[in-house]
Chains A and B, each alone.
Chain A
Amino acid sequence: MKIAVLVKQVPDTATRIQLASDGSGINTAGIKWVLNPYDEFAIEEALKLRDQHSGEVVLVSFGPARVEEAIRQGLAMGADRAIWVSDDGVADVDYLGRAQILVAALSQEADWDLVLVGKQAVDDDAAQTGPLVAALLDWPQAMVVLGLTVDAAGRRITATRELEGATETVELTLPAVLGAQRGLNVPRYPTLPNIMKAKRKEVRHTSAADLGLDGAQLTADRRVVVEGYQLPPPRPEPKVLTGDPAEAAATLVKLLHNEAQIL
């Protein structure tokens, strides 16, 4: 199987988010960048499928030069090669523009069987890229996937999806797009020899312009425009009770009833 995994580099989940002084974005100084946690599940699943069905796993990432670090991390897990689409000349795109760029990168090659994505990137929390890419490619899709099996001929996939209070089984024809959810697998840690090997693996560099897309036009065509950021309202000073558990519990119930008016 020829599998592409779309990977995004995001701030580490432990990051305390601070806003740029003009509120136009977040302050990126000192941020530790990591591979999006859900993309690790996507890569792991791709590696497992390659090991069962043979083939290759190609990482595709769109972003500034720093994303090469995330790409190397995925290569160290065992992916075969990567395509990095730089954001040169692409100042500000929306989800559709980003999906168009990723689709253009995929379309440089033929014979994809599967595209794996994370169910959501933990920076913009959009959860849009998988279905957008699927729609633009006109392939079927399933998101929030907890388990999957490919038939022996490599033509169909059975995926289980997590819903609210239920799980769902979906049958898809290939090629398809699947979005990985936590629980799909346990991502492997890169070993030291694999980290060394990853340094020599191919990362092909391309750009929106190389792919025949006009960055300025993509920005002009935005359908979703971010106007600014703000911090959530601060939470009120906590009331903390100590002492005898029974008394504290009784006081808490009174507070929840009279003050918070929740009971």
Chain B
Amino acid sequence: MSGILVVLEQWEGRVRRVGLEACATAVRLGHGPVSAVAFGAGAEAVAEAVGGLGVEELLVLPDTPFDRYSSDAFAEAVAEIVRQGEPSLVLFGATAFGKDLAPRVSGLLKAGLASDVTGIDPDGDDVAITRPVYAGKALQRVRIVGTPKLVSLRPNVQPVGAGGGPVARVSRPAVEVGAPRAVVTGTERNDETVELTEASRIVSGGRGMKASENFRLLDELAAVLGAAVGSSRPVADEGWVPHSYHVGQTGKVVSPDLYVAVGISGAIQHVAGISNSKCIVAINNDPDAPIFKVANYGVVGDLFQVVPALTAALKAHLDAS
């Protein structure tokens, strides 16, 4: 194998977007051939998607025990594939799956892992890596010593680009693993809501929303924008929205193209979770609210007037274009 191995997360033939970001990154690094590994039923189905990005070989482990996630068996399998193929670099997505799996592989192989990486570039035979620490209040430059080097990539940061290459060659590696001791027995997928960490646009509400029912205004704005809805922490703590909406240092760290903060003051813990956003818009009736210091654009005004006006203006813009 040598080259770079990408560990994909897939279900029913759908590969999580960060997996495609990892494939594109691996090809961009130019450190030899890129292969990918996918587990579970439907694993072969991702051959076309990853082949188009320049992945040459797709290793699939569709059968028991790999039809259900288990951190121990999956980690053993990845470690075994790495021992057989000796890639210099192994890329994961820093999702719940990758964050569970990658450090376990690191422990099995005694190989260094840089997690939740936002910057990765070739540096001769090596890679130069940056990763946010203190929830993005600082960036850390790290070097991984020895091989393989393990890296998990923060979702929504690396570009994917257009495909068009051939379908990856599919093969089934022979790996033996022990009986899994942590086995997934059920998965409940939320309705078709866009996941915040993968969303390219987010509309978030804070305490300024005043009550749960007022989030309807944000739902309407989000629908026009094609955005996901998030919140500050106190709003989720109050139960106005589910806990999964909570953005910030102790919630989800997001990196959308557009983040609209509505009735959010801009506390340091909230800002920590959004500072990777390409464009931040703040709507707040307090001109001195700290959120305006990190925003690209701000509207000072009553959100109960500004948000409906913005929804209307966006509709008019979209109808005209």
**Is B309 touching A95 in the complex (CB atoms < 8 A)?**
no
**Is B258 touching A262 in the complex (CB atoms < 8 A)?**
yes
Give complex CA distance A240, B184 in Å. 49
Partner of B293, one of A38, A238, A253: A238
**Is A255 touching B297 in the complex (CB atoms < 8 A)?**
yes
Partner of A140, one of B136, B145, B155, B182: B182
Contact with B along A244-258 (1 / 0, CB 8 A): 011011101101110
Given contacts A143-B96, A262-B258, contact A240 B243 (CB under 8 A): no
**Is A136 touching B107 in the complex (CB atoms < 8 A)?**
yes
**Is B145 touching A164 in the complex (CB atoms < 8 A)?**
no
B135 smallest CB distance to A (angstroms):
6
- Find residues 231-251 in chain A having any chain B CB closer than 8 Å to their own CB: 231-232, 235-236, 238-242, 245-246, 248-250
Report the interface size for chain B: residues with CB under 8 A from the other chain: 99
Residues of A within 8 A of B317 (CB): 253, 257, 263
Give complex CA distance A130, B69 in Å. 17
Q: Closest A-chain residue to B73, C-beta based? A: A140
Q: Is B213 an interface residue (CB 8 A)?
A: no
**Is A229 touching B140 in the complex (CB atoms < 8 A)?**
yes
A259 smallest CB distance to B (angstroms):
9
**Is A13 touching B135 in the complex (CB atoms < 8 A)?**
yes
Which of B25-33, B48-56, B163-171, B244-252 contacts the other chain? B244-252
Q: Which residues of B contact A (CB under 8 A)?
A: 16, 69-72, 75, 94-97, 99-108, 110-116, 131-146, 155, 180-190, 193, 195, 197-198, 201, 243-244, 246, 249-251, 257-258, 267-269, 272, 275, 278-282, 287, 292-302, 305-306, 309-310, 312-314, 316-317
- State the main secondary structure of chain A at its contact with B: mixed
A-B contact count (CB 8 A): 289
Partner of A14, one of B138, B269, B302: B269
Q: Closest B-chain residue to A124, C-beta based? A: B133
Partner of B250, one of A13, A132, A163, A252: A13
B131 smallest CB distance to A (angstroms):
8
**Is B107 touching A260 in the complex (CB atoms < 8 A)?**
no
- Find residues 125-155 in chain A having any chain B CB closer than 8 Å to their own CB: 125-136, 139-144
B270 smallest CB distance to A (angstroms):
10
**Is B313 touching A249 in the complex (CB atoms < 8 A)?**
yes
CB<8 Å pairs between A and B, sample of 17: A16-B137, A26-B138, A123-B133, A123-B134, A135-B105, A167-B188, A168-B96, A170-B183, A223-B110, A224-B145, A225-B144, A228-B141, A240-B300, A241-B297, A256-B258, A257-B317, A262-B201
**Is B185 touching A249 in the complex (CB atoms < 8 A)?**
no
Q: Is A196 an interface residue (CB 8 A)?
A: no
Residues of A within 8 A of B306 (CB): 245, 248-249
B321 smallest CB distance to A (angstroms):
8
**Is A223 touching B189 in the complex (CB atoms < 8 A)?**
no
Partner of A256, one of B135, B244, B272, B297: B297
Which of A105-113, A171-179, A208-216 contacts the other chain? A171-179
Residues of B within 8 A of A8 (CB): none
Given contacts A17-B137, A163-B97, A242-B300, contact A252 B72 (CB under 8 A): no
| Closest 5 pairs between A and B when the two form their complex, measured CB to CB | A135-B107, A223-B112, A140-B182, A131-B103, A140-B181
**Is A130 touching B182 in the complex (CB atoms < 8 A)?**
no
B70 smallest CB distance to A (angstroms):
8
Residues of A within 8 A of B75 (CB): 131, 135
A90 smallest CB distance to B (angstroms):
18
Residues of B within 8 A of A127 (CB): 94, 99, 103, 115-116
Residues of B within 8 A of A126 (CB): 115-116
**Is B95 touching A164 in the complex (CB atoms < 8 A)?**
yes
Residues of B within 8 A of A22 (CB): none
**Is A260 touching B297 in the complex (CB atoms < 8 A)?**
yes
Q: Is A169 an interface residue (CB 8 A)?
A: yes
**Is A168 touching B294 in the complex (CB atoms < 8 A)?**
no
Q: Count chain B CB atoms within 10 A of each CB in A133, A162, A168, A231 and give the residue with the most.
A: A168
Given contacts A96-B112, A246-B309, contact A253 B135 (CB under 8 A): no
Given contacts A183-B243, A240-B298, contact A131 B305 (CB under 8 A): no
Given A232-B275, A236-B296, 18 other A-B contacts at CB below 8 A?
A96-B107, A126-B116, A131-B104, A132-B107, A143-B96, A167-B187, A168-B187, A169-B187, A172-B181, A223-B106, A223-B111, A223-B145, A238-B294, A240-B295, A248-B299, A250-B313, A260-B297, A262-B278
Q: Closest A-chain residue to B152, C-beta based? A: A127
Contact with B along A166-199 (1 / 0, CB 8 A): 1111111100100000110000000000000000
Residues of A within 8 A of B287 (CB): 240, 242
**Is A142 touching B71 in the complex (CB atoms < 8 A)?**
yes
